[in-house]
């Protein structure tokens, strides 16, 4: 059972921010803590020595690098080691990855800092101070998390600094050994080389380097990069091809048993009674566990019962044989129609929180033409290919976890709380993830696994959800409703632009579940993609109404940008049509002060060329997670079937650390986004999810996947996110092409022709 824990420093800092804002006078002026030296040692073997909190070197020259980010197909186990290898001057193949300990130097600073609700064009002092202060708060919290397309962005400085500092120590050690000036030495391919020709391997110098004093540590200039910017092969590909890669579901600690679950079918439902008699007579069944009481606030999936057996099949069959009486709870009558009606009434009654406003909205009163539109988007499930799972063992006052998680710190915390032990008594092995997409930021499956393992007399237990469990008990991408109104003059110029939307808040729920914080205040993710757009309307107001959600909500790949980009970019096309202008030319006219956006748009349009007969090109331009993306979708319509044949995707993500991975992420994002655009919808009736598996929650098949051509814009800017930004533009690009072909303006997702 969950035990109360003291009010932690982490909760105090977040609560202070919520109550007093981000300006913390005095403390905020101090420099943030360093991220080079940790307080927890790296798990080293074979005589390796640590040169800082990130990098260690063995006697054979193997370089061990701490890896704090989870590999879920986005390529961080290749891209992040490239940063160290570049500065340390070693071959990428010589680097071995170590799971980073739970240490604050590995916390994701960029992700929290980017969560502030400022417009990208804002260059004011308040934004600078807020980002500085939240960066410091993030450094103090040290939340280790993989999300927000932030892995490379966050690691760009600390991991390069770790490599450069280690290199400086090795040069200092060699110079001292040879009695020469460090300036006379250089490094190459894992060796320190003196001007005279003397050379020493890093492995031979490592023990001495630990005691050395580095000279000036300088990061390389981008013109000197040898590895960064090259299409280095993915390091995780061979193991995934030969089957040796270890995912969460592959964990096999000795003596492991399996657990299958049955969870309340209605939102907020609970267990009333369980008749386990029939299940307990079935082959291999060991016990039935009601884990509801142990979840506490980590109840994203809801209350339920598990059957533990010798095999998963036995556990699953017995779970289906359980006779369970459910308390349906207060939301037994919940329906999608009711939710949208609530959104509409709230938009009618409330002005919402204005995330961005500029100019004078009264300018629209003199409009020659007014354009209005209402858009909607449904709930979405994550539907990761690796089903939700977690393996836990509770024995002798300790907890062992094997988890495919995006949030190792939260996983350790929930395991400790459920088991009633200190976090130091929890050992976590982070495996590869067979898809994350934000679902594995939550740790409800960890809470379940630990609660069940506590009843298994020290045996490890692997909890596996069926696909039906997954679809019907997700933490969903919010449904949303958005309204737009714009006034145009006789020449087609936009005089005033008004946008107001309504949805639940992912962040309010997420931080309550994982940090115990009370919900409150604005949530950038609700309006991102609307308020932070690049178009230069002189008079605009973008607002949002947060509607408390009974449906559990979670971060989904690109979060609010996904639906808000569809709303915004579709409406921009509507304005172009109302103005009698080509949609591309209309956008170009709104980007006079945004040359990078204009360049990306022009690159995509030029590569796309002219649509073949019977097809049309739809365009969308969107910035998210710091990256600008323009997409041109080549679409045909056959009856009511929408077919996407080709997508040209131009991206400006700053410095391209690994162009191959960028292209792969763009292709992945397009396919993922098309699944949502053409098929994705979770609906509720009588408090229950109506979909259950891929037959009614369809994802894009191979024969439906378009050709994707990715253009990577040359840039020397700081690297930005790439895991998510190519997802939001695809739905509006397709919808805009469909309008050209059919004259139907599709304002609801998924896209369906009448």
CA 408 to chain centre: 14
pLDDT digit string (tens) for 201-258? 999 999 999 999 998 899 999 999 999 999 999 999 999 999 999 999 999 999 999 9
pLDDT digit string (tens) for 479-533? 999 999 999 999 999 999 999 999 999 999 999 998 888 888 999 999 999 999 9
Q: What is the mean pLDDT of residues 694-704?
A: 97
What is the sign, positive or negative, of the torsion defined by CA atoms of 474, 475, 476, 481?
positive
Q: How many residues does the chain have?
A: 754
CA 343 to chain centre: 26
Closest-CA residue to 448 (of 397, 407, 411) = 411
Q: State which CATH number among 3.20.20.140, 3.30.1330.10, 3.30.300.30, 3.30.365.10 fits the domain covering 31-108+143-234.
A: 3.30.365.10
Model confidence band, residue 302 (pLDDT cutoffs 50, 70, 90): confident
Q: What is the pTM of this model?
A: 0.95
pLDDT digit string (tens) for 261-295? 999 999 999 999 999 999 999 999 999 999 988 77
| Domain 336-380+476-742 architecture | 2-Layer Sandwich (3.30)
CATH number of 248-330+388-464: 3.30.365.10
Cis omega (within 30 of 0) for bond into 332: no
- CA 488 to CA 493: how far, in whole Å? 5
| Whether pLDDT at 546 is above 90 | yes
- CA 80 to CA 227: how far, in whole Å? 12
The residue that leads in pLDDT, 470 or 517, is 470
Domain with CATH 3.30.365.10 in the chain: 31-108+143-234, 248-330+388-464, 336-380+476-742
Please, are residues 61 and 171 in contact by the beta-carbon 8 Å criterion? no
CA 728 vs CA 51, 506, 561: distances in Å: 42, 17, 6
């Amino acid at each position: 059972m969950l035990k109360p824990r003291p009010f932690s420093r982490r909760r105090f800092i977040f609560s202070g921010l919520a109550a007093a804002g981000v300006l913390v006078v005095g403390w905020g002026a101090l420099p943030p803590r360093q991220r080079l030296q940790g307080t927890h040692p790296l798990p080293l073997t074979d005589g390796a020595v640590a040169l800082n909190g990130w990098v260690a070197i063995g006697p054979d020259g193997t370089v061990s690098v701490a890896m704090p980010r989870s590999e879920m197909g986005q390529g961080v186990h290749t891209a992040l080691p490239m940063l160290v290898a570049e500065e340390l001057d070693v071959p990428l193949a010589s680097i071995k990855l170590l799971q980073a300990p739970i240490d604050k130097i590995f916390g994701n600073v960029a992700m929290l800092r980017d969560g502030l609700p400022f417009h990208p064009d804002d260059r004011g002092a308040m934004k600078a101070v807020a980002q500085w202060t939240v960066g410091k708060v993030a450094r103090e919290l040290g939340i280790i998390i993989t999300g927000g397309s932030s892995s490379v962005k966050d690691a760009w400085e600390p991991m390069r600094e770790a490599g450069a500092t280690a290199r400086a120590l090795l040069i200092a050690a060699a110079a001292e050994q040879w009695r020469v000036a460090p300036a006379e030495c250089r490094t190459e391919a894992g060796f320190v080389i003196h001007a005279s020709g003397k050379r020493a391997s890093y492995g031979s110098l490592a023990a001495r380097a630990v005691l050395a004093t580095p000279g000036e540590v300088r990061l390389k200039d981008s013109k000197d990069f040898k590895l960064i910017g090259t299409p280095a092969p993915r390091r995780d590909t061979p193991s995934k091809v030969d089957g040796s890669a270890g995912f969460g579901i592959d964990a096999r600690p000795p003596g492991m048993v399996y657990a299958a679950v049955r969870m309340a079918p209605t939102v907020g439902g609970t267990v009333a009674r369980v008749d386990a008699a029939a299940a307990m007579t079935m082959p291999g069944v060991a016990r039935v566990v009601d884990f509801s009481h142990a979840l506490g606030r980590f109840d994203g999936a809801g209350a339920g019962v598990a059957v533990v057996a010798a095999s998963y099949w036995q556990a699953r069959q017995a779970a289906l044989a359980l006779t369970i009486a459910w308390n349906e709870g207060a939301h037994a009558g919940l329906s999608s129609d009711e939710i949208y009606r609530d959104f509409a009434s709230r938009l009618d009654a409330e002005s919402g929180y204005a995330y961005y406003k500029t100019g004078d909205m009264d300018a629209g009163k003199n409009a020659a033409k007014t354009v209005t539109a209402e858009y909607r988007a449904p709930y979405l499930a994550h539907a990761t290919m690796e089903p939700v799972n977690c393996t836990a063992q509770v024995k002798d006052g300790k907890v062992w976890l094997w988890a495919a998680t995006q949030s190792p710190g939260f996983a350790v915390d929930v395991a400790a709380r459920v088991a009633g032990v200190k976090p130091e008594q929890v050992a976590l092995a982070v495996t590869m993830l067979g898809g994350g997409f934000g679902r594995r930021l939550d740790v409800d499956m960890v809470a379940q696994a630990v609660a069940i393992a506590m009843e298994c007399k020290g045996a490890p237990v692997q909890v596996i959800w069926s696909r039906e469990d997954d679809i019907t008990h997700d933490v969903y991408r919010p449904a949303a409703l958005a309204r737009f109104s714009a006034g145009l003059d006789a020449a087609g110029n936009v005089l005033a632009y008004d946008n107001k939307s309504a949805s639940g808040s992912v962040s309010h729920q997420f931080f309550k579940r994982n940090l115990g914080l009370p919900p409150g205040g604005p949530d950038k993710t609700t309006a991102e993609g609307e308020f932070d757009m690049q178009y230069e309307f002189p008079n605009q107001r973008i607002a949002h109404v947060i509607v408390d959600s009974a449906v559990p909500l979670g971060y989904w790949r690109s979060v609010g940008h996904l639906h808000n980009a569809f709303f915004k970019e579709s409406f921009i096309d509507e304005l172009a049509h109302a103005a009698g202008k080509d949609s591309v030319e209309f956008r170009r006219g709104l980007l006079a002060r945004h040359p990078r956006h204009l360049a990306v748009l022009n690159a995509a349009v030029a590569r796309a060329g002219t649509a073949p007969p019977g097809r049309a090109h739809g365009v969308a331009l969107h910035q998210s997670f710091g990256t600008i993306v323009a997409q041109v979708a080549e679409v045909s319509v056959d009856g009511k079937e929408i077919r996407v044949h080709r997508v040209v995707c131009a991206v400006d993500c700053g410095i391209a650390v690994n162009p191959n991975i960028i292209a792969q992420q763009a292709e992945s994002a397009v396919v993922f986004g098309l699944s949502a655009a053409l098929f994705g919808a979770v609906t509720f009736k009588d408090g229950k999810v109506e979909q259950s598996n891929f037959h009614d929650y369809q994802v894009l098949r191979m024969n439906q996947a378009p050709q994707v051509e990715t253009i990577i814009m040359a840039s020397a800017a700081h690297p930005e996110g790439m895991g998510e930004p190519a997802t939001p533009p695809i739905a509006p690009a397709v919808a805009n092409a469909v309008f050209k072909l059919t004259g139907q303006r599709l304002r609801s997702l998924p896209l369906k022709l009448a």
